[in-house]
Amino acid sequence: MNTFIERMKCIEQRVSEQYGPFELFALFRPDTTLRLWDILISAQWIEDDRLAAMRIIAEQMNQVFSITEIVQFSGFVIIEHDYEGLRQFQSEVDVEHGMREFRNVTFFDVPILHAYVITSHHAADSALLI
């Protein structure tokens, strides 16, 4: 089965291998009128050139999603890698290249109907293990 989340997991893995680790890579469907998926990303390398980072991920998505699938995504939300709210989130949800699913929760003070967290991991924690 080739679900959209499995395809997003592959994209996250590929991009992190090429450009560096993500501290957050998640899909959130907020409780809004449109109910489209937001792609939340955070990584040190993203902050050097946010537009280029979004293009890198979008190009990968365009290769694996059809037009009718791609319109289910609203866009990217970039979270600064040193944002304290991200650290709090990572302390509650720790996963790397995996998948945690949530329904009817509030993250970052936003009501979320459905969420998939592929990576939520503080990069400094990984460096301590080396």
Please say whether the beta carbons of 40 and 50 come within 8 A: no
Q: What is the pLDDT of residues 87-107, one digit of tens each?
A: 999 999 999 999 999 999 999
Cα(114)–Cα(31) distance, rounded to whole angstroms? 9
Q: Which residues of the chain have pLDDT under 70?
A: 1-2, 124-130
User: Taking the model in full, what pTM does it have?
Assistant: 0.90
**Spans of all domains in the chain:** 4-129
Q: How many CA atoms lie within 13 A of 60 on its CB side?
A: 17
Report the chain's C-alpha Rg in angstroms. 14
What are the Cα distances from residue 49, in Å, to 16, 37, 63, 80, 118?
Answer: 15, 23, 22, 12, 22
- Give the pLDDT confidence score for residue 130 in this predicted structure: 43
